[in-house]
Structure 1
Amino acid sequence: MTVIEELKKRGLIEQIIFEEDLIEKLEKENITFYLGIDPTADSLHVGHLVSINVAKILQKYGHKPLILVGGATGGIGDPSR
């Protein structure tokens, strides 16, 4: 099973643009990818779980996640409020 097949099986992918190119890239080499999380409260919550799970699945297939949690917003809350 490929990483894309697993993500689809779990219902985590609805649509992919240039799907064949992405599958080829992910099967040919391990990629480093970025996930930026900007918490709207003083901590993470269940709303962040989907993207974190996708990152974990990609990591299981040998890809390297770079996860950055926004410190300022997490520390002071949503500045737009």
Structure 2
Amino acid sequence: MRLSTVILPIHRWSEGRQVWRRAEELGFHAAYTYDHLSWRSFREEPWFGSVPTLTAAAGATERIRLGTLVTSVNPFSCITC
């Protein structure tokens, strides 16, 4: 059985690196994050973009598959796509 996890993009990278590495160490097949502009319960906290978060996670891990649960294209300009 393959298990996956969700990691919210709420960690500054100095902490986030360890979170993503730990998911890999625990043997998860994949780790996903959200591509939302914010989350109701984290409105006053940092919330980072999914693409930069996953890019950093790819550099910090070796085997775990990475992805978004849903990717929202509406809030992005075509110039940055």
TM-score range, shorter chain: 0.3 to 0.5
Q: Please report the TM-score for the alignment, with normalisation by the length of structure 1.
A: 0.35
Which is richer in helix?
1
When Rg is computed on C-alpha atoms for both structures, the one with the higher figure is: 1
TM-score (norm 2): 0.35
